[in-house]
Amino acid sequence: MSRLLVTGGAGFIGSNFVHHVVETSDDHVTVLDALTYAGNRASLADLPEDRVTFVHGDITDAALVDELFADVDAVVHYAAESHNDNSLHDPRPFLDTNIIGTYTLLEAARKHDRRFHHISTDEVYGDLELDDPERFTESTPYNPSSPYSSTKAGSDLLVRAWVRSFGVQATISNCSNNYGPYQHVEKFIPRQITNVIRGIRPKLYGAGENVRDWIHADDHSSAVSTILAKGEIGETYLIGADGEKNNKQVVELILQLMGQPVDAYDHVTDRAGHDLRYAIDSTRLRTELGWTPRFSDFAAGLADTIDWYRSHEDWWAPSKDGVEAFYASKGQ
Ligand SMILES: NC(=O)c1ccc[n+]([C@@H]2O[C@H](COP(=O)([O-])OP(=O)(O)OC[C@H]3O[C@@H](n4cnc5c(N)ncnc54)[C@H](O)[C@@H]3O)[C@@H](O)[C@H]2O)c1
């Protein structure tokens, strides 16, 4: 049995990971989460109290972080400001949490000599042309576009430096776009699903040609568990499930799966600097560590996700009106 500290464990992917750990191991999890607008205690509500301890606090609080690191074997770091659109509007919280927060955790990992896994995104690599045959690999140069992705890139580089300079036992993973339960309704897929449930027409940025490489959050969690168990210290692993789809295809599939005409959506103003295409080559993780995704059929994973939002309106309804008012103020 290990004792894990999971930062950002009340957020979308972090809470999916905590559920995954409880279901697949006998590890104990301490969640450290500041409960920003993106954190939700209800995402952990059905988990047993003897397996999961919740600590409400900030990853930039060095004294609290130091105390928590003393009591665990390993740390998985999900906490972040994570929404590109918000980073264009107000970048400062992204610097505080993604850069200073990661620095604070690394200093504690160094002091307590703890195994540290850093969660990051494929957005650090910038974007690919729509017709480019290439996909991102572990050796693709960093080229982030937005305040969000540049702070994630900065946090990755801090981790690499703490490994090299101070011998911190860290690994990094960069994952493609996640979908699944417990994702905030500000994000593309849950926004469109909950729009349909509410009788609002889905909104598509621009022409909808931008391509994302979708992976179910549960597959992201199993990949992170694999890296924690078998990953080589100091190494980076890309996580992806070969799920490339453009945004127009995703909206049309949501409408089809929800029994609506596939053209019942509106085009809205595109995101500034919108990355064209992300695509992950996860060969290294699959061949060296033996990981494979469970959800290889995107439509089946999306249908599960639609069912989850249909049956958890109490979870997402409190945020929905505010999110739509925010997008409406920007013509989106
Ligand atoms: N969503 C994706 O598709 C995706 C893809 C690849 C990587 N990632 C990475 O995965 C991680 C989690 O993403 P997500 O989509 O679950 O994000 P999220 O916004 O849903 O959750 C972030 C969580 O971190 C918490 N948090 C924020 N600032 C904090 C602070 N200063 N101290 C403590 N807790 C704080 C929030 O309360 C929230 O619970 C991020 O590092 C993100 O970069 C996300």
Q: What is the pLDDT of residue 234?
A: 98
Q: What is the pLDDT of residue 331?
A: 84
Atom of ligand 1 nearest to the CA of 239: 6
Q: Which domains does the chain have, with CATH numbers?
A: 3-178+215-239 (3.40.50.720)
In the annotation, is 122 catalytic?
yes
CA of 314 to the centre of ligand 1 (A): 21
β-bridge pairing 3-7 and 28-33: parallel
Q: What is the pLDDT of residue 269?
A: 85
Mean pLDDT of the chain: 96
Annotated catalytic residue within 125, 148, 205, 265 = 148
The encoded tokens of residue 274 equal 């919108």
The encoded tokens of residue 86 equal 């918000």
Q: Is the CB of 177 under 6 A from ligand 1?
A: yes
Q: What is the pLDDT of residue 275?
A: 87
In the annotation, is 123 catalytic?
yes
Annotated catalytic residue within 33, 58, 81, 123 = 123
Chain segment 37-66, per-residue pLDDT in tens? 999 999 999 999 999 999 999 999 999 999
Q: What is the pLDDT of residue 6?
A: 98
In the annotation, is 186 catalytic?
no
DSSP class of 10? T
Chain segment 155-188, per-residue pLDDT in tens? 999 999 999 999 999 999 999 999 999 999 999 9
Specify the pTM.
0.96
- Name the helix (H) or strand (E) containing 266: strand 266-268
The encoded tokens of residue 110 equal 């160094």
Q: Is the CB of 159 under 6 A from ligand 1?
A: no
Report the pLDDT averaged over residues 81-106. Answer: 95
Our mutation pick for probing the ligand 1 site, out of 6, 7, 13, 81, counting the most ligand atoms within 8 A of Cβ, is 13
What pLDDT band is residue 214 in, cutting at 50, 70 and 90?
very high
Buried b vs exposed e over 79-109: b needs ≥16 C-beta within 10 Å? Answer: bbbbbbbbbeeebeebbebbbbbbbbbbbbb
Chain segment 298-307, per-residue pLDDT in tens? 999 999 999 9
Torsions phi, psi for 211 (to 5 deg)? -105, 135
Q: Is the CB of 59 under 6 A from ligand 1?
A: yes
Going by alpha carbons, the residue nearest to atom 9 of ligand 1 is 120
Report the pLDDT averaged over residues 203-208. Answer: 91
- Say whether pLDDT at 85 is over 90: no
Q: Which residue has the higher pLDDT, 212 or 1?
A: 212
DSSP helix/strand/coil, 56: strand
Task: Give CA 298 to chain center in angstroms.
Answer: 17
Chain segment 254-295, per-residue pLDDT in tens? 999 999 999 999 998 888 888 899 999 999 999 999 999 999
What pLDDT band is residue 34 in, cutting at 50, 70 and 90?
very high
DSSP class of 180? S
What pLDDT band is residue 7 in, cutting at 50, 70 and 90?
very high
